[in-house]
Amino acid sequence: MGDKPLEFLSVSQFAERIGVAERSLSKYQLPEPDAVIGDKARRQTRGWLPETVDAWNAKRPGRGNWRNAKR
């Protein structure tokens, strides 16, 4: 039992990590979450590993480059 549990980033932590407002995330196509807590009948909570967020952020188009992104 001595293993540390995995820690996932919430939506607000995701936004903070990439330097945008939380409400701005709804405009992005986010990566699939690494964890989902709850069921579809109720509100689900999504979580991402820091590595997932960092990899996604490194690949996303920069400001003004969204038109050049893959379609």
pLDDT tens-digit profile of 14-61?
A: 999 999 999 999 999 999 999 999 988 888 999 999 999 999 999 987
Mean pLDDT of 3-14: 94
Question: What is the span of the domain harbouring residue 46?
Answer: 11-65
Per-residue pLDDT band at 71 (split at 50, 70, 90): very low
Amino acid at 38: G
Report if residue 3 sits inside a domain: no
Report if residue 53 sits inside a domain: yes
Report if residue 51 sits inside a domain: yes
Report if residue 5 sits inside a domain: no
Distance CA 48, CA 20 (A): 16
- Nearest Cα to 12, choosing from 28, 30, 25, 2? 25
Q: Under a CB-based contact definition with an 8 Å cutoff, are residues 29 and 65 in contact?
A: no
The answer to whether residue 64 scores a pLDDT higher than 80 is: no
Residue with tokens 């945008």: 20
3 or 32, which is more confident: 32
Report if residue 49 sits inside a domain: yes
Q: How many CA atoms lie within 13 A of 28 on its CB side?
A: 22
pLDDT of residue 67: 52
Report if residue 1 sits inside a domain: no
Total domains in the fold of the chain: 1
